[in-house]
Structure 1
Amino acid sequence: MNTNLNYPEIISWLKTKGQELYGNHFKIHEEDYPIIYKLIAYFLKDEQVCFQFGINLNKGILLSGPIGCGKTSLMNLMKYLTPAEFKFSVKPCRDISFEFIQDGYQVIHKYSKGQLYKSEPKIYCFDDLGLENNLKYYGNECNVMAEILLSRYDLFVSHRIQTHITTNLSASEIESLYGNRVRSRIREMVNLIAFNNVTKDKRA
């Protein structure tokens, strides 16, 4: 890997930061290095390595893998590597659904175009896509995340604002939960970085 960045040193720093955030039991497993190298290259904008991995720096990241493989903690760590103009917030999809029950359709606006009356779209990582359920607001059922992702696609096309996602769903499961239109737009918006399906549950 021909690059100016010292990847082993960055991984060592991430391990220390992870222990600071999650406790001394936090580890970065060697079998996950290929995933972590790609994430580091993307978030530190290492064009050369991203080119080698076929990663498009204009798109977001979809990090997929089995439950407990470490997707959320890795994305939380990547926030500390990301240059200021690409900083993002990690937001669990389940929490967004609960916000929708309380606040209704303005929640869709909040996570796409920004707060009502102010246009200030931000970069988000929607964590655990698929864990939320279709929820009702005054009797109307709404697939909240599908609506948000369609709006985020419009932002991506018009303003190149990125969206990141973590999920344990396969592409066909995404299509079945959110529809072909959402699946197609996600494909256009993100780079897929996937853990092996047999990656062990690190919480065990």
Structure 2
Amino acid sequence: MKYSAPHIITEGSFRYELGTLKGREIQYDFEKILAYLDAKGKLMFGKKFKIYREDREVLYKLSLYFIRDKDRCEQLGIDVDKGLLLSGPVGCGKTSLMKLLKLMVPHRKPYVVIPCRNIVFGFNHIGFKIIGDYGDSQFYCFDDLGVEPEGIYFGKACNVMGEILLSRYELFKNNRIRTHATTNLNANELEQHYGNRVRSRMRELFNLVGFDKHSKDKRQ
């Protein structure tokens, strides 16, 4: 599907212009992006959803990534060709934002947000086939990475997400297939959970964007 004006998004009777078209280039407006995310978030998650002022810095980085503003991303140390690892404390809004942000760029290839624990439960049910299932060209966002249980199939234990991340790394290196993830863990905790080999691959696979560790739980 081609989008002649991908910066204009219609939700019901409302029309959101996230920027202006200058020739063949879209000049996005961050305040308009925030207004759209706030409105769409309320539609998706309920009227209590809101964009918090203290999250603006994180949202700015994420927005630049999704609109692929290469120059500004490079200034912030973000590689638009890599995936995102969005970290932060429980309840800070990571999952909601990853479900939302892809909608502001409908002309880009979307990704599927899937909880890591669901993948492990799938492994426990059908075995190693589940690992191969995620070695495809689909873009994924693995939600709550690092807190999923260990997989067990017919008595054989497996660090399921660790194996999947290794497969996704090969896809990224060979075919530039991006992978995203959210996590509550810091770098040391991720390394303890997956080991140094996977953690090393994650550095190449992801841009790390993090909420402040004192970010409040928005679900309370």
Q: One fold, TM greater than 0.5?
A: yes
Gaps of 5+ in 1: 114-120
Corresponding residue of 1:195: 211
Task: Please tell me the residue identity of whatever aligns with 1:74.
Answer: L
C-alpha separation in 1, matches of 2:117 and 2:142: 9
- Alignment root-mean-square deviation, CA: 1.2
The match for 1:111 among 127, 134, 146 is 134
Corresponding residue of 2:167: 151
Determine helix, strand or coil for the equivalent of 1:16: helix
Task: Please tell me the residue identity of whatever aligns with 2:104.
Answer: L
Which string of whole-angstrom CA distances, capped at 9 and with x for unpartnered residues, describes residues 91-127 of structure 1? 10011011111111111011123xxxxxxx2110000
| Cα pair distance change 1:187/1:92, threshold 3 Å | same
The answer to whether structure 1 residue 34 and structure 2 residue 50 are counterparts is no
Determine helix, strand or coil for the equivalent of 1:80: helix
Equivalent runs, 1:1-204 vs 2, <5 Å: 4-113=27-136, 121-204=137-220
Task: Please tell me the residue identity of whatever aligns with 1:161.
Answer: I
C-alpha separation in 2, matches of 1:107 and 1:82: 29
TM-score (normalizing by structure 2)? 0.86
C-alpha separation in 1, matches of 2:40 and 2:108: 21
Corresponding residue of 2:8: none
More displaced stretch, 161-170 vs 84-93: 84-93
8 Å contact kept, 1:44–1:83: no
Shift in Å at residue 135 of structure 1?
A: 2.0
Shift in Å at residue 78 of structure 1?
A: 1.2
C-alpha separation in 1, matches of 2:30 and 2:164: 35
C-alpha separation in 2, matches of 1:83 and 1:41: 15
Gaps of 5+ in 2: 1-25
Determine helix, strand or coil for the equivalent of 1:129: coil
Could you list the structure 1 runs, at least 4 aligned residues long, displaced by more than 4 angstroms after superposition: none
| Cα pair distance change 1:84/1:139, threshold 3 Å | farther
Determine helix, strand or coil for the equivalent of 2:104: coil
Determine helix, strand or coil for the equivalent of 1:161: coil
C-alpha separation in 1, matches of 2:170 and 2:190: 19
C-alpha separation in 2, matches of 1:38 and 1:137: 40
C-alpha separation in 2, matches of 1:38 and 1:85: 18
TM-score (normalizing by structure 1)? 0.92
C-alpha separation in 1, matches of 2:141 and 2:97: 12
Task: Please tell me the residue identity of whatever aligns with 2:76.
Answer: F
Rg bigger for which structure? 2
More displaced stretch, 81-90 vs 96-105: 81-90
Determine helix, strand or coil for the equivalent of 2:113: strand
**Higher strand residue share:** 2
Shift in Å at residue 48 of structure 1?
A: 2.7
Shift in Å at residue 84 of structure 1?
A: 3.9
Corresponding residue of 2:5: none
| Cα pair distance change 1:37/1:8, threshold 3 Å | same
Percent of pairs with identical residues: 51
